[in-house]
Amino acid sequence: MDTNSFDSGKQDRRRFMADALRTGGVVAMASAGGFLVGRRSEGEPMVWQLDPDRCTACGNCATHCVLDVSAVKCYNCFDMCGFCDVCTGYFEMNYKSLDTAAENQACPTGAIVRKFVEEKSGQRFYEYTIDEPICIGCAKCVEGCALMNGSLYLQIDHQKCLNCNECAIATACPTEAFYRIPQSQSEILKERAAAVYQARGSQTKRVIERDAEQTGTEIDQVKEAEANELLARAERQRVWRASQQKGSDSQEPSFQ
C-alpha cells in the first residue's frame, strides 16, 4: 500500500476511531443483552398455546402446523364430560348406527377410544379418551362436542411442538386464539374447565380432611397433592385470564 505520512496519520486516527466504536458496540450489546437477561425476572421461556375458549374448530390446526402431523392435539376435560352414550364428539353427525365402526366416527383417524364404564338406571355411560399419537388436531370432535358439553378441546402438545418463533397456525388461526405463555403454565384451559378443576380440588380436599377426622388417621398425602395440583392449575389459569382481561393497554409500550 502506498501511503504517505499524511495518509498514515489519517489512517491512525481512523483506526483509533474504529477501535473506539467497536469497543462501544461490544459494550452496548453486552449491556443490552444483560438488560434483557435481567429483565425476564421469571427467567422462563415462552411457549405457544391456544385458548380453547376462542377456538371455533376451523380445522386449520391440522393443516397449518409446520409438522407433518400437527403438534395440536385434542384433550378431554373429563370433569366437564357427560360420558354420554350418544357422544356428539365421537359419532359422525349422520351416523348409520351407534357402534364403533369407522364410518360412524367423527374422528377421521379413529383417535378417540370409547370405553364402557357402567350402566346406571337404564343409562349406559362411556368414557372417551384420546389416543394422542393418532390425533391430528383436526377439531372435528371438538366441533361435535361443542353441541353438548364442550369437554373436548385442543391444546398444543409441547412434547411435539417445535416452538417456532412464529407459530404457523397462529398466523392462520381465524380467531387469533394463539398466545405466548410462560413454559410452566403450559396450558390454557377453558374458563369453565378451570372452574371445575377448582371445584374438584377443593371438594377432594374437604373429603380427605373429613375422612381423616372421622377415621382418626393421617391425611392421604397422595390425594392431597393431587388436589393441590388441581387448585394450582386453576389458579394459574385465573391469573393468566386476569392478565389478558386487563387488556393489552398496560403491556403496550409507550412511544409518546
Partner 1 sequence: MNQSSSVYKIRIFLVLGALCLSSSVAVGSELIPVPEFTNHDVPITLPSNPDSPIWEWLNVGLLVIALSLASYLAIVSRSRRGLFALAVASLLWFGFARGGCVCAIGAVQNVTLGMFDSSYAIPWTVIAIFVLPLVYTLFFGRTFCAAVCPLGAIQEVVAVRPVRVPSWLDHSLGLVPYIYLGLAILYAATGTAFIICRYDPFVAMFRMSGNVNMLIFGGSILLLGVFIGRPYCRYLCPYGAILGVLSKGSKWHGRIAPETCIQCHLCENSCPYGAIATPTRPIHKSERVKARGRLAKSLLSVPVLIICGVLVGLLLKTPLSKLDADVRLAERIIQEDAGEVEGMTDASEAFRNTGQPTSALIERAIGQRELFGWLGMALGGWVGLVVGVKFVTLSIRRRRVDYEPDRARCVSCARCYWYCPGEHVRQGLVGDVSQLVSIETTGDPR
Q: Is 65 in the site for ligand SF4 (CB under 6 A)?
A: yes
Sequence-distant (6+) residues with CB within 8 A of 222 are none
Distance (Å) of CA 109 to CA 103, 121, 132, 224? 11, 33, 11, 38
Q: Is 196 in the site for ligand SF4 (CB under 6 A)?
A: no
Distance (Å) of CA 204 to CA 39, 126, 193, 218, 226? 39, 23, 16, 15, 9
Q: Whole-angstrom Cα distance, residue 177 to residue 143? A: 16
Q: Whole-angstrom Cα distance, residue 226 to residue 185? A: 17
For residue 89, the partner it binds in partner 1, ligand SF4, none, with Cβ less than 5 to 8 A by kind, is ligand SF4
Contacting partner 1 within 91-150 (CB under 8 A): 93-94, 117-118, 120-121, 123, 125, 127, 129, 147-149
Question: Least Å distance between CB 101 and partner 1?
Answer: 18
Residues contacting partner 1: total by CB under 8 A? 94
Q: Is 91 in the site for ligand SF4 (CB under 6 A)?
A: no
Closest to partner 1 by CB, 66 vs 219, is: 66
Sequence letter at residue 188: I
Interface with ligand SF4 (CB under 6 A): 48, 50, 55-61, 65-67, 71-72, 76, 81-84, 87-90, 128, 139, 145, 148-149, 151-152, 154, 156, 161-164, 167-169, 173-175, 177
